[in-house]
Amino acid sequence: MAVYFHEEDLPADALGDGPVAVDTETMGLITRRDRLCLVQISDGGGDEHLVRFAVDSDYAAPNLKSVLADPDRVKLYHFARFDLAAIEYYLGVTAAPVFCTKIASKLTRTYTDRHGLKMLVEELLGENISKQQQSSDWGAPVITDAQRDYAASDVRYLHRLRDIFAERLEREGRTGTAQACFDFLPTRARLDIAGWEDKDIFSHE
């Protein structure tokens, strides 16, 4: 297992075939204001790749964009809504089709209200991850080893979690509902970008 760090794009031969786990790190939680600093990606084979974008980046990244926009590769996320918005706004691609472990958890782990990645990894995989670097400065000139380890851990477990949740969704008869939610997520992300991030357009009010 290794963590590879790249500037501005992913090497063309970095990933194998099949689904990829994806995560992002930004300067904050408001997509249009807080720039995309890092994209983490893994094919589930044991390595994680981190692509860092500079403050003056043009976000060209043709190799990374090719993978993210590939309609034949499922993208695994935890809270896909945020990552999809950041990727679409800064990289200009729709990183779908989608499997979101947070939505899958909410549809199957109805016995709890704890659906964070740390909790899922502990309960379902028996491993522990640190969230200490979650709110660190991802736009700094130097990304520390602790930040790199944290960023890599956000994609390290998603393939295994996807397999578990796929079985649970099928067991509970909610696979179709989950897929409909996943399919809507790119549209939900575009609504966030357009200014409806805190509005429930389906509500009566």
Distance from C-alpha of 24 to C-alpha of 116, rounded to nearest angstrom:
16
Global confidence as pTM: 0.95
Nearest C-alpha neighbor of 120 from the set 156, 75, 89: 156
Using CB atoms within 10 A of its CB, is residue 90 exposed (0-12), middle (13-18) or buried (19+)?
buried
Residue type, 124: L
Query: How distant, in Å, are the alpha carbons of 26, 29, 42, 63, 134 from that of 120?
Result: 23, 22, 18, 31, 16
- Three-point CA angle 182, 19, 75, nearest 5°: 35
Helical H segments across 121-174, by residue range: 145-156, 158-171
Domain boundaries, the chain: 3-196
Q: What is the DSSP string of 46-80?
A: S-EEEEE--TT-----HHHHHHHH-TTS-EEESSH
Q: Between the CA atoms of 130, 131, 134 and 136, what dihedral angle is there, to the nearest 10 degrees?
A: -60
The residues, ordered by sequence, that sit 6+ positions from 64 with a Cβ below 8 Å of its Cβ are 9, 10, 39, 41, 51, 91
Residue type, 143: I
CATH class of 3-196: alpha beta
Tell me if 19 sits within 8 A of 162, measured CB to CB. yes
Q: What is the pLDDT along the chain (205 residues), one digit of tens a residue?
A: 899 999 999 999 999 999 999 999 999 999 999 999 999 999 999 999 999 999 999 999 999 999 999 999 999 999 999 999 999 999 999 999 999 999 999 999 999 999 999 999 999 999 998 766 667 899 999 999 999 999 999 999 999 999 999 999 999 999 999 999 999 999 999 999 999 999 889 898 8
